[in-house]
Amino acid sequence: MRTDELTKTMSRLFSELTDGAHPKGGVVLNTGDIGLLRSLDKISAAEASARANDGATIAAHTQHLRFGLSLMNEWATNGGNPFANAKWDEAWKMSGVDDVQWQEIRSGLRGEATRWVEILQTPREAAELELRGMLGSIAHLAYHLGAIRQINKTARGPKEGTF
């Protein structure tokens, strides 16, 4: 099927999650929410390395998103199945990061997200499974944004009454 009718919606939802709500209001995020990428910029390497309730670190969530989007970009650009040999568990092994590593992870995520939103904006032929993957990338990002915001309050969106 063609994605022509979905490109604007998919790219808008994904962009809102990564870059923040539109000034006139968002669909997913509250007005004034700066989105994932700028929220991560407010977190130090030490905070990104901290575990909450024995769970994964923010650095691990961020690297996981980066890796997943790199696979989506590889699929959309070159076709094939880059997921077949993906080593999903590598990101989850990440614990402590220093300032340089944290900057590199955030920069890498920003680059992959930018490329992915460009792909979402471009109409294409997609099989049902591929379309599910494209739509799933938006829900997947939203899940990890929520998880990151539960780990560290610095990453949270606007408080009630501030938007």
DSSP structure string for 68-125: HHHHHHHHHHH-S-TTTT--THHHHT-----HHHHHHHHHHHHHHHHHHHHHHHS--B
- Torsion angle defined by CA atoms of residues 18, 43, 74 and 15, in that order, rounded to the nearest 10 degrees: 0
CATH 3.10.450 fits 7-155, yes or no: no
CA distance 135 to 127: 12
Joined tokens for residue 41: 């910029």
Whether the CB-CB separation of 59 and 44 falls below 8 Å is answered with no
Q: Break the chain into its structural domains and give their ranges.
A: 7-155
Q: What is the pTM of this model?
A: 0.94
pLDDT tens profile 67-108: 999 999 999 999 999 999 999 888 898 889 999 999 999 999
